[in-house]
Chains A and B, each alone.
Chain A
Amino acid sequence: MSSITTKLIIGATGVLLFAYLILHVIGNALIFFGPDLFNSYAHMLLSNPLVVPIEIGLVVVFLIHLVKAITMTFQNQAARPAKYAKKVAAGGTSQKSLASSTMILSGLALLIFIPIHVKMFKYGPEYPYGASDVRDLYRLEVENFTSPLVVGLYAMVMVVVGMHLWHGVASSFQSLGISGPRFTPLIRKVGKVSAIGIAGGFIVIAVWVFLFGARS
């Protein structure tokens, strides 16, 4: 497979994962409106027959993104066996950043985080919400975010998510060949704003739940 095809695959799966994160953070933000709304939204998702195929699809997309990125990283390293004694960022129009230089590391950090995260929430304790068959995910979230250590670690991981998106969003579109004199500067801004929005959103929600969640 050519490196162009590889990049198309990483870009396409990257865009899908980005879209998923947008929906995820919006869904989480419903927690501000209290347990009724939050739990009924979660119930709507969980009771939808499409949820299982979508979840499987998400895992497949994630794994493809991951496997392609890892194999490409090894190939890229092989393309420069001898390192420079001194190498610095060129500056100017370059998009190189701490985020772009650590994409594989931020990605691998999320590979460790995601199973823990899914275990804590999706496969966490099943509390009933009142007498109904609705699952009380609000309570679960409050319980999960009672420890300052958990909130702190979670916030750190969300910074990693933000870093991955900082470079990844605009990079995905470039990898798909979507580029233009108006589009490219725009998507670079959109990528950075959404990196801050998504990572910041998850952090604010977690901190809010930690501080005020148990009260409502």
Chain B
Amino acid sequence: MPAKTITVNLKVWRQPAKDQPGRMVDYVAKDISTDMSFLEMLDVVNEDLIRKGEDAIAFDSDCREGICGACGCVINGIPHGPDAGATTCQLHMRRFTDGQTITVEPWRAKSFPVLKDLTVDRSAFDRIIASGGYISAGIGGAQDANSILIPRSIAEEAMDSAACIGCGACVAACKNAAAHLFTGAKITHLALLPQGAPERALRVVRMVGQMEAEGFGACSNEGECEAVCPKLIPISNIAKLVREYTRAWWRGTT
């Protein structure tokens, strides 16, 4: 199929630096190939801005193949745009029509301060992970396959939760800017596996404690997070987080 070209009208959040006022600015992206990704379209707009001597729109990206979690903006009111199970870098311009107006905004949450334009500081997620999202048992060298028996269904479930790339879309989508899906996915992943067992209770207490300290909101069970998650992680991970937290309390860990 030959590539079509379209022209779209952008409304982009421009903010020169952290804690400075920002505003929505209009741009016209002309002759955009529908085979381009959303970020490639922004690259084209930026090349144009640079040629004109203006400040390019800052946005994060790295792998551009939907696996690293670096990219992400709210596109026409939905984190990562209209496609389910896709990151911003995996969204293609064929999803838009010629002449369409597209709003582009950064993730908005107190815990994710805007650094510049569409880039936000997601180090709150790093601090949640650092508070307990790991195993500290020395496990030696790589073991033979199947020396630790894990039923396939459990391994699959743990893998589904481990698929989280930490992009932050869940927080961006949630009306309360809650980080329960992110934290729940990490907790579920490690709670299901034998390697995670020794620190199971302490981990959930510490990670939830850090999540609260970062100023994220509380979960209202709407499931907007699940709907925008590029890895389709379901809110059953949040129910698991509750169960793990309750279990830790029961055992006197909280």
Contact = CB atoms under 8 A, between A and B. Distances in A.
B219 interface: yes
Contacts of A174: 221, 235, 238-239
Contacts of A81: 110
B10 interface: no
Given A2-B209, A7-B218, A94-B223, A80 B177 contact: yes
A48 interface: no
B100 interface: no
B178 A3 contact: yes
Interface stretch (A35-43, A83-91, A135-143, A206-214): A83-91
A90 B228 contact: yes
B19 to A, nearest CB: 11
A5 B249 CA distance: 10
Interface stretch (A54-62, A95-103, A106-114, A150-158): A95-103
Interface in B16-36: 24
A78 B234 CA distance: 25
B77 A86 contact: yes
A94 B109 contact: no
B246 A177 contact: yes
B77 A84 contact: yes
29 contacts: A2-B212, A2-B245, A3-B180, A6-B218, A7-B219, A76-B177, A79-B111, A79-B176, A80-B176, A82-B108, A83-B108, A84-B108, A85-B24, A86-B105, A88-B76, A88-B78, A89-B224, A90-B79, A90-B173, A90-B227, A91-B227, A93-B226, A93-B227, A170-B221, A177-B239, A177-B243, A177-B246, A179-B236, A184-B236
Contacts of B111: 79
Question: What are the nearest 3 A-B pairs in CB distance?
Answer: A177-B242, A179-B239, A79-B217
Contacts of B177: 76, 79-80
A180 interface: yes
A80 B24 CA distance: 18
Interface residues on A, range: 35 or more
B222 interface: yes
Main secondary structure of the interface of A (DSSP, over half): loop
Given A3-B217, A100-B222, A171-B220, A79 B178 contact: yes
Interface residues on B, range: 35 or more
Nearest to B76: A86
B182 interface: no
Interface in B152-205: 173, 175-178, 180
B178 A103 contact: no
B64 interface: no
B220 A3 contact: no
A180 B242 contact: no
Nearest to A173: B239
B245 A4 contact: yes
B209 to A, nearest CB: 7
Nearest to A172: B221
A145 to B, nearest CB: 35
